[in-house]
């Protein structure tokens, strides 16, 4: 009887290193096996996809990368999926970041995309900076950058990431401020979506979509409900949904199996812990 009691106590106070080991196994095995599970697409993600899909060729979309490498696992696949969708549709893309450590991620994303489209029929000369895309790099000032770009985009972003003047760039021919953009998407690891809604959408009246880490997705549903955000891509799951819609399966879809198994493990652990909690409590 006492042995049974000890055993139950051992389960309820399980050494966390065993839990760490279980988590590691449940992440590694699905990645090694490489199974890709299809995901069901949520209306929030479909809304962003449909909006970009309906834009005419030659439109201009601003995709803002407000994150750094800490959130790369969730938000970088989202970035690539959005870039690919835009370039598949012949849409021009502008990007910048309000995070100092995010600028190099934008450059890396564009370099990856340039390789993908190097032999594309739509872009016989490849994807060119200043024509099909522009990377403005890191912009200091937080929410003030949004207001500045809403007032005059050339003044706000006078040079691109490489130091070239943006004044005569072809991509800016018909764009004077944020209000002239066909769509803006903020991919955020922090609170910048709030800034984009308050200082961007409400002042300069453009359509805004957003992407964020899974942990912060819940706080943006009120904006979806009011129409201040037209869609939301939440976490790796959202990125996987977008990859599936765009027909470019990549890192997000590949990661969903690992995420599934870890979620299942956590649910299993919580259930087990509660069962033994009640059993030990019953025994006094």
Least spacing, CB of residue 127 vs another protein, in Å: 14
Task: Work out whether 115 is an interface residue with another protein (CB under 8 A).
Answer: no
Identity of the residue, 122 or 264, whose beta carbon is nearer to another protein in the bound complex: 264
Task: Work out whether 129 is an interface residue with another protein (CB under 8 A).
Answer: no
Among the residue ranges 48-56, 58-66, 79-87, 98-106, the one whose residues contact another protein (CB under 8 A): 98-106
Q: What are the tokens at 269?
A: 């652990």
For residue 71, the SS3 value is helix
Least spacing, CB of residue 264 vs another protein, in Å: 6
Among the residue ranges 1-9, 65-73, 123-131, 166-174, the one whose residues contact another protein (CB under 8 A): 65-73
Least spacing, CB of residue 106 vs another protein, in Å: 11
User: Which residues, in sequence order, are bridge partners of residue 185?
Assistant: 63, 209
Task: Work out whether 28 is an interface residue with another protein (CB under 8 A).
Answer: no
Q: How many CA atoms lie within 13 A of 28 on its CB side?
A: 6
Answer for the pair 203, 179: CB distance below 8 angstroms, yes or no: no
Task: Work out whether 178 is an interface residue with another protein (CB under 8 A).
Answer: no
How many residues belong to the site for another protein (CB under 8 A)? 67
Interacting residues with another protein between 197 and 236 (CB under 8 A): 214, 217-219, 221-222, 224-225, 235
Least spacing, CB of residue 272 vs another protein, in Å: 8
Measured CA distances, 237 to 40, 85, 138, 254 (Å): 9, 17, 27, 11
For residue 109, the SS3 value is helix
DSSP string, 173-220: TT-SSGGG-SEEEEEESSSHHHHIIIIIIHHH---EEEEE-GGGGGGG
């Amino acid at each position: 009887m006492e042995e049974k009691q000890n055993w139950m106590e051992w389960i309820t106070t399980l050494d966390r290193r065993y839990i760490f080991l279980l988590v590691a196994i449940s992440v590694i095995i699905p990645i090694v096996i490489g199974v890709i599970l299809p995901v069901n697409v949520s209306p929030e993600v479909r809304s962003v996809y449909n909006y970009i899909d309906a834009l005419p060729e030659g439109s201009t979309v601003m995709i803002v990368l407000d994150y750094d490498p800490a959130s790369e696992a969730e938000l970088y696949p989202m970035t690539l999926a959005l870039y690919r969708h835009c370039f598949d549709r012949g849409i021009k893309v502008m990007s910048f970041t309000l995070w100092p450590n995010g600028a190099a991620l934008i450059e890396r994303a564009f370099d990856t995309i340039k390789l993908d489209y190097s032999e594309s029929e739509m872009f016989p000369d490849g994807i060119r900076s200043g024509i099909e895309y522009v990377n403005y790099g890191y912009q200091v000032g937080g929410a003030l950058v949004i207001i500045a770009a809403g007032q005059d985009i050339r003044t706000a972003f006078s040079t691109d990431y490489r130091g070239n003047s943006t004044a005569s760039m072809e991509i800016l021919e018909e764009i004077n401020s944020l209000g002239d953009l066909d769509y803006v998407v903020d991919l955020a690891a922090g609170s910048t979506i709030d800034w984009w809604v308050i200082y961007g959408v409400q002042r300069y009246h453009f359509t805004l979509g957003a992407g964020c880490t899974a942990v912060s997705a819940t706080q943006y549903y009120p904006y979806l409900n009011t129409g201040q955000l037209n869609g939301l891509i939440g976490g790796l799951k959202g990125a996987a949904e977008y990859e599936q819609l765009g027909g470019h399966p990549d890192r997000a879809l590949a990661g969903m199996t690992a995420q599934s198994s870890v979620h299942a493990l956590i649910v299993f652990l919580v259930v087990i812990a509660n069962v033994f909690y009640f059993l030990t409590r019953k025994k006094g």
